[in-house]
Chain A
């Protein structure tokens, strides 16, 4: 299945071509953890995980057409 991934700030370092928006092909039944593994985000790198703008965890299942957003925890704004 196809999902859209949006990666920002240092998480962009793991995106193909450092793009902020790209498509990813995942097997059915994949989770957010599979997205992180596919992008080779090391476990020591922290990320806020969202699926379609809602809070997600590594175990959250993703579906075809979902938008997964990754950005680092931030000190404020």
Chain B
């Protein structure tokens, strides 16, 4: 095979058995890779009603056919499992250089099953794979473990590892790779912790074999030149300021979530924005493998109580640990971000859980005596301290480790958790970004923006600006974008480059450039339509898993604040998210029943029946 390695590694942590399996060519063609392989194996091998932290659950780490190639942003892999935070599927996506190294070792995917009796790590060196004891690493932070693992295996190895939060089953623990990149969302790190697997360490010395190296080079050069030409007069804001610059768009539209989504504009937004981050803390931009954008930020807080070094914050962190907690202290939220990276947690859910706690205190539903400290909006010190306590499950951190949904329910006010399917929202208030509201409600993993990010055209002008406040026009576009994102996640590219430079620049986003790259790499001769169909297949396969896990129309929902409490001020003043009006046509366009279940005809059409 080309593009694909053609080989899957299966690791049974209960027995210690490690074995290779061939990649079925039909699976490769129909599910492409990464996110597609994740749902393919999860659906076949995992009972949707299983305990996410029990031995029945599995983790599928999978790269795409373009991962590890020279394709622009061919850096991504996806971790698929049943989420302990939500009970739904999760397919967390990360970049850096670990995924490319996995491909260079000769594997498309790793299936991790069972539970190890003792802490272990998996070491892969090309075609040799073995489990090794990790007792000496248990309890170590992400940077400590990363360094120790490379020292005892190969200094050039790449490491995906859990921190103390994953070991302690914090329900939004992340799997960190290359120290500061995160497969962050919905608790994949807790599932790894439940299996007593500290890390996956990979050293690969091979190359991804290409079907037509000359054609691949030509296509790659064409799209890189297009990027250069376009960015000559329009320097990518993401390179200059990182994703934190996005608050310019969300604040201006009045959808920058503030104080647990009570408001959509934050008075301190400029103090925590991308331009301020560049001015105060930026050391250098840091690209993932083969990325021409380089949105990653190496940063340093040079002095003061929050002194430190690391990567971030990203926009989502600026929102979750910043505006959403009313915190305008960039140093404090950056420090909390460093702690999340070092201890291995999702910054979005960490910030949103603290924000939820702050509102519960404000409304009198949670006593500060129970928290063990004052907890008011804007308290940067509380942010840093509670982040550390959560990762270690110390004191009230043990409660926060269950996430916002459980916290709010515990206090008798589940409506104050700003989640969909139990997953905390990304940094866009859906009352003022209607398409994204439909996305949060129907995304297979819950409140994520990365399963069809309509903020691109509703807020950020790509491919062109569309009014974020209209809802009648959104359902067909949301369907199209959700399927496109499944394709991007499956081939192993990053959304940031793909959406602007590898698809036709209109709302129908035909994946022409992605198809060209994929065909040159694999020789598989896809048409753009076949790829779109594969994206739809992946999305529907994920939906089937959800349905079997007990999710349906009732869970395709948003908190009442989003659908009943009008936005209090700003450009979206008076708006609620018109979810019900969008959901009915959305189901129809999807070929799902009014209860949100894929019809037999749709499943047959996609080869899932």
Contacts and interface: CB of A to CB of B under 8 A. Distances in A.
A42 B233 contact: yes
Given A10-B237, A69-B252, A76 B427 contact: no
A56 B246 CA distance: 19
B238 interface: yes
B206 interface: no
Interface string A41-77: 0101111111011110000000000000101111111
B254 to A, nearest CB: 5
Sorting the interface of chain B by its residue count into under 10, 10 to 19, 20 to 34 or 35 or more gives 35 or more
B233 A71 contact: no
A76 B249 contact: no
Interface of A: 6, 8-10, 20, 42, 44-50, 52-55, 69, 71-77
A77 B254 contact: no
10 contacts: A9-B235, A10-B234, A53-B253, A54-B467, A54-B571, A72-B234, A72-B237, A75-B497, A76-B238, A76-B246
B462 A74 contact: yes
Interface stretch (B50-58, B174-182, B324-332, B453-461): B453-461
Interface of B: 233-238, 240-241, 243, 245-246, 248-250, 252-254, 270, 274-275, 293, 295, 314-316, 427, 453, 455-456, 460-462, 465-469, 495-497, 499-500, 570-572
Given A46-B461, A52-B571, A76-B453, A71 B249 contact: yes
Contacts of B234: 10, 44-46, 72-73
A75 B453 contact: no
Contacts of A45: 233-234
Contacts of B275: 8-9, 20
B465 A74 contact: no
Nearest to A75: B496
B461 A77 contact: no
Contact of B500 (A8, A44, A53, A75): A75
Contacts, number: 104
Nearest to A21: B270
B428 to A, nearest CB: 9
Q: Is the interface of A mostly helix, strand, loop or mixed?
A: loop
A37 B571 CA distance: 25
Given A55-B465, A76-B243, A77-B315, A50 B233 contact: no
Given A10-B237, A53-B252, A75 B461 contact: no
B487 to A, nearest CB: 16
B238 A74 contact: yes
Return the 4 tightest CB-CB contacts between A and B, nearest first: A53-B571, A77-B246, A73-B461, A48-B461
Contacts of A71: 237, 248-249, 252
A41 to B, nearest CB: 11
B201 to A, nearest CB: 30
B105 to A, nearest CB: 29
Contacts of B572: 53
Contacts of B233: 42, 44-45
A73 B252 contact: no
Given A9-B245, A54-B467, 10 more contacts: A44-B233, A46-B234, A48-B249, A53-B254, A53-B570, A71-B249, A72-B235, A75-B500, A76-B460, A76-B499
A48 to B, nearest CB: 4
A77 B467 CA distance: 18
Given A73-B462, A77-B243, A10 B497 contact: no
The CB with the most chain A CB atoms within 10 A, among B236, B467, B468, is that of B236
Contacts of B469: 54
Nearest to B254: A53
A54 B497 CA distance: 26
B240 A10 contact: yes
A18 to B, nearest CB: 11
Contacts of B427: 77
A8 B461 CA distance: 14
A46 B243 CA distance: 18
Nearest to B467: A55
B455 to A, nearest CB: 7
A23 to B, nearest CB: 18
B571 A75 contact: no
A48 B465 contact: yes
The CB with the most chain A CB atoms within 10 A, among B245, B293, B468, B495, is that of B245
Contacts of A73: 234, 460-462, 500
Nearest to B458: A55
A75 B252 contact: no
A77 B254 CA distance: 16
A9 B243 contact: no
Nearest to B570: A53
B496 to A, nearest CB: 4
A9 B237 contact: yes
Nearest to A76: B496
Contacts of B465: 48-49, 55
